[in-house]
C-alpha cells in the first residue's frame, strides 16, 4: 500500500481516483467520497467498514483513517478544509457520524454533484473556486444529514496516535527515530512502537518511509528537481536507498515514475 495523497493546507481537492489503498494517516481536512465501481475496506480509528458501489463515505478532520482496496475501485474524492465551507455551512462541517458509510439510492444525482465540483476545481474562471466550494458544502451537508451527524467533543484531547502521526507528518524530513519521538512527545519508545503496531497497523519505519516516498512522488510530479535532490529533500541520506524503497512501494524507479506522470499529464492536456 502507498501513503494516500492528501491535499495541501488551505486547498480544496476534488478528483476521480482509481485507487484508495493507503497507510493509516490523519489530516485537518474533511474527507468525503463516492464509490462508483468496486469496493474497498475503510478503517476509522482501527474499526473496519466496507464501502462499495453506490456508497458514500465521510471522514471528519483529525481522524485516523486508511483504505484497503478489495478489487479495482473507482471513487470520486473530496478533501476540503473545514474553514473553506464554514461561511456556507457553519461548524457542522466538522461533525462526527455514527457510521461513516452512507448508501445512496440516487447514485446518478450524487455523481453529477461530484463531477460538477471536479470541473469547477479544474476551471480557470474567476468564480469557479467559489462555485466548487459551494458544491463541496452541498455534498457534505447531504452526507451529514443522512448519517445522523453529531457535534465533535470540543474538549477532547488528541490521542497519542494522533500526536505521533502529526509529529511524523511535520518532521519526516529530519533524521528521526523512536528515540526522537520519545524525547519530543514524552512517551516511551516501547509505547510508541505499540501504538504503531496496534492502532496504526504498521511499523514506525514503514510509516516514515511511506511519508517520504509520498512527498517524493509529489515533487516528481510537480517539479523539475533531480532524483538526487528530491531524495535529500524528503529526508534520505543515501540516494541508492531512496531508489530501492521508491521502487518497492510504487513498482517504478523515480525516473520511470516521473516520465509516466509527464506522459499522462500531456495526454490529459491534449484532450
The residue with greater pLDDT, 91 or 188, is 188
- Tell me the C-alpha distance between 223 and 216, whole Å: 10
* Domain ranges in the chain with CATH number 2.60.120.280: 13-146
User: Can you state the percent helix, strand and coil of the chain, rounding each to 5?
Assistant: 50, 20, 30
CB proximity list for 124: less than 8 A, separation 6 or greater: none
What gap in Å lies between CA 43 and CA 86, rounded to an integer? 26
What φ, ψ does residue 6 adopt, rounded to 5°?
-85, 165
Domain spanning 160-265: CATH superfamily? Homeodomain-like (1.10.10.60)
The span from the CA of 163 to the CA of 170, in Å, is 11
Kindly report, as residue ranges, where domains of CATH 1.10.10.60 are found in the chain: 160-265
Express each pLDDT in 77-111 by its tens digit.
999 888 777 665 555 555 666 688 998 888 888 89
CA distance 131 to 149: 25
Q: Are 132 and 124 within 8 A, CB to CB?
A: no
* Of 149, 238, 164, 236, the residue nearest 194 (C-alpha): 164
Q: Which CATH number is associated with domain 13-146?
A: 2.60.120.280
Whole-angstrom distance, CA of residue 228 vs CA of residue 251: 19
Give tens-digit pLDDT for 26-70: 887 889 999 999 999 999 877 899 999 999 999 988 888 889 998
Can you give the pTM of this predicted structure? 0.71
- Rounded to whole angstroms, the Cα distance separating 195 from 259 reads 38
Amino acid at each position: 500500500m502507498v501513503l494516500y495523497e492528501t491535499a495541501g493546507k488551505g486547498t480544496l481537492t476534488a478528483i476521480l481516483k482509481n485507487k484508495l489503498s493507503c497507510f493509516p494517516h490523519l489530516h485537518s481536512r474533511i474527507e468525503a467520497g463516492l464509490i462508483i465501481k468496486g469496493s474497498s475496506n475503510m478503517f476509522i480509528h482501527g474499526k473496519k467498514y466496507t464501502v462499495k458501489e453506490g456508497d458514500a463515505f465521510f471522514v471528519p478532520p483529525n481522524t485516523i483513517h486508511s483504505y484497503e482496496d478489495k478489487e479495482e475501485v473507482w471513487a470520486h474524492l473530496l478533501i476540503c478544509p473545514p474553514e473553506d465551507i464554514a461561511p456556507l455551512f457553519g461548524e457542522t462541517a466538522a461533525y462526527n457520524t455514527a457510521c461513516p458509510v452512507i448508501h445512496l439510492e440516487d447514485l446518478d444525482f450524487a455523481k453529477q454533484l461530484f463531477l460538477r465540483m471536479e470541473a469547477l476545481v479544474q476551471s480557470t474562471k474567476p468564480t469557479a473556486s467559489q462555485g466548487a466550494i459551494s458544491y463541496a458544502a452541498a455534498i457534505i451537508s447531504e452526507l451529514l444529514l443522512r448519517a445522523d451527524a453529531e457535534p465533535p467533543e470540543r474538549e477532547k484531547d488528541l490521542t497519542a496516535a494522533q500526536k505521533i502521526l502529526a509529529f511524523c507528518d511535520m518532521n519526516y524530513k529530519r533524521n528521526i527515530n523512536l528515540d526522537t519521538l520519545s524525547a519530543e512527545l514524552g512517551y516511551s519508545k516501547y509505547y510508541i512502537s505499540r501504538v504503531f503496531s496496534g492502532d496504526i497497523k504498521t511499523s514506525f519505519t514503514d510509516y516514515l518511509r511511506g511519508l517520504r516516498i509520498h512527498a517524493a512522488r509529489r515533487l516528481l510530479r510537480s517539479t523539475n528537481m533531480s532524483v538526487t535532490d528530491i531524495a535529500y529533500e524528503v529526508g534520505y541520506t543515501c540516494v541508492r536507498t531512496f531508489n530501492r524503497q521508491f521502487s518497492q512501494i510504487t513498482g517504478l524507479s523515480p525516473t520511470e515514475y516521473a516520465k509516466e506522470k509527464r506522459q499522462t499529464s500531456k495526454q490529459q492536456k491534449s484532450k
